A and B are shown apart, each in its own frame.
Chain A
């Protein structure tokens, strides 16, 4: 069996999540690791008998790779994608796809022109509970949404700075925005509000510590999503949806369906990241694509997240053109 040779650009925390999955695939060879922290590349390469590189250009030039995983922080996007596109390689990229919307738009155009297979790590789309919600909403569309990302402040220092992470709405709550789009459809208008308070243990923290967004969907549905990083633990991440005679509550590990007969909760089964990685690898290997979130699709979610930030800064609602 010919193995699909994968190279990683960026070998931090989220890359480890994918490595834990990909190492189980018999048709995948983890062949190259590039990281600006060469020691980290060496650690990953030495785990898999692979090659380590201090930069992605060297890896792309010498790695003989079939596909790339780009797992770098929000502020670092651009050069890696361009180099991979120039090489004509399919790639998986972690969200958020960049902080610079114009650059993401340009990259989406280049991907389109090159006809590349892409996937973006909005893995909630792969929850079996989300499949169930989609089935339930098919004939009874959601008309009101209430989303949450109520959490601690993540430890990496880049996350604390808006110019590096984009803030919580762009870096974390984007999963909820994407889930809302996946279940309800395109967003046409947003209005954002944000507030900030300092946290002693997070010197230099400048992202909003509370933020909220009102959204209008093309379907006519309306909703609100609230975020905070003021807690010292994970409190709630999820999306509640309300349709005619039905309320759904989704978290990243269960679903509650309320049709007036109690509040039954079902736990999610399987690993959504496993499914997400499997679909990407299958598409790269020439099978019909079942990828649920391409770069172009992720860009639509990203536009919403950035528009919420923009609205919070200007105090004006932002209309989104659906394309």
Chain B
């Protein structure tokens, strides 16, 4: 029997993190009996449905009453791998895993951003009950290891299974009202402070000044959606900016796009950049830890965070020379294939599992013995 691997999150909005869990679960399905676990009452429900549609086992828990989940873990699981969107998430789940007697792994999907002394202390305490913490980029690894020592931390850069577009580029553009001579600039990110949409909005007029055919398409949901929508209207930019809300057809949108723009303030290792690279779409991104690791330090379209003027000029430069942008996109695809495949991420993660599982429960160890 394959070891039962439970990938769990208590994140209320497991969007990119949820994608990551599904990618990992799917890539490990041959070696492990994979269960995706999430809060059945909150945003986790959608993750569970997506996992089910992919053929993975699913388990809902109730964050306000976790004892039944602990009992279920004890009776059914071999290994618990908790995914935390931010440093203060997932502590309860980690403790639950240890209380259920399971080897427990944790992935940090963002760099260390805890500033409250209480949260910092709680994080230190959490480390006592986790077997291994995976970070998703070198920058994130450094941010944790420099504070808490390297012994518990591991680095497994994110990887994704590239998804193909299911519809023709032209169909998608027509549906969005993007004309043939216009350029579509896609941003896929939740509407939260971290993703810095206001900086991008501030950059829009300057871009339009040089490239009047630029059409911005913003995809995602989140608490700031309505505010941003109003800000776009108030700025008289609704002819150039479209907010789409959450979409399940990101591969189609990428195929329709001329440029992907990421104005984020900080990131772990952003999956949407990897998706854009896999699709050969040129990327403009802020020069922040995980994003630089994704596109590479020599990437031509890096820009400083929170700087609308710099962002506008980088976008304009990319749009002004489509040949150069296309070459950059092709280089991105090559870089993706070399470094960011899901299979590489899964193999590295499985090695970490093997290092913390008891020999009897680890086929991986048995095989290599």
**Chain A interface residues (CB < 8 Å from chain B):** 38-39, 41-42, 45-54, 62
Known: A42-B48, A42-B49. A50 touches B58 (CB 8 A): yes
**Chain B interface residues (CB < 8 Å from chain A):** 35, 37, 40, 48-49, 52-53, 55-60, 72, 76
Q: Which residues of chain A are near B55, meaning CB under 8 Å?
A: 51, 62
Closest to B44 in A: A46
Among B53, B59, B76, contact of A46 (Cβ-Cβ < 8 Å) = B59
Among A41, A42, A49, A54, contact of B72 (Cβ-Cβ < 8 Å) = A49
Decide if B56 touches A51 in the complex (CB within 8 Å).
yes
CB distance from A4 to the nearest CB of B (A): 14
Decide if B49 touches A50 in the complex (CB within 8 Å).
no
Q: Which residues of chain B are near A47, meaning CB under 8 Å?
A: 60
7 A-B residue pairs with Cβ-Cβ distance under 8 Å, sorted by A, are A38-B49, A42-B49, A42-B58, A46-B58, A50-B57, A50-B58, A54-B53
CB distance from A322 to the nearest CB of B (A): 47
Closest to A58 in B: B55
Closest to B59 in A: A49
Q: Which residues of chain B are near A46, meaning CB under 8 Å?
A: 40, 48, 52, 58-60
Total A-B residue pairs with C-beta atoms closer than 8 Å?
41
Task: Pick from A45, A53, A62 the residue with the most CB of B within 10 Å.
Answer: A45
CB distance from B296 to the nearest CB of A (A): 39
Q: Which residues of chain B are near A54, meaning CB under 8 Å?
A: 53
CA distance A49 to B58 in the complex (A): 5
Decide if B49 touches A51 in the complex (CB within 8 Å).
no
CA distance A51 to B55 in the complex (A): 6
Q: Which residues of chain B are near A38, meaning CB under 8 Å?
A: 49, 52-53
Closest to B77 in A: A49
Task: Pick from B55, B57, B72 the residue with the most CB of A within 10 Å.
Answer: B57
CB distance from A58 to the nearest CB of B (A): 8
Among B58, B72, B76, contact of A51 (Cβ-Cβ < 8 Å) = B58
Q: Which residues of chain B are near A48, meaning CB under 8 Å?
A: 59
CA distance A38 to B37 in the complex (A): 18
CA distance A46 to B76 in the complex (A): 14
CB distance from A119 to the nearest CB of B (A): 27
CA distance A50 to B55 in the complex (A): 10
Among A39, A49, A53, A62, contact of B35 (Cβ-Cβ < 8 Å) = A49
CA distance A116 to B49 in the complex (A): 33
Q: Which residues of chain A are near B48, meaning CB under 8 Å?
A: 42, 46
Known: A51-B57, A52-B58. A45 touches B76 (CB 8 A): no
CA distance A45 to B57 in the complex (A): 7
CA distance A54 to B49 in the complex (A): 11
CB distance from B56 to the nearest CB of A (A): 7
Closest to A52 in B: B52
Q: Which residues of chain A are near B58, meaning CB under 8 Å?
A: 42, 45-46, 49-52
Q: Which residues of chain B are near A45, meaning CB under 8 Å?
A: 52, 57-58
Q: Which residues of chain A are near B72, meaning CB under 8 Å?
A: 49
CA distance A41 to B57 in the complex (A): 12
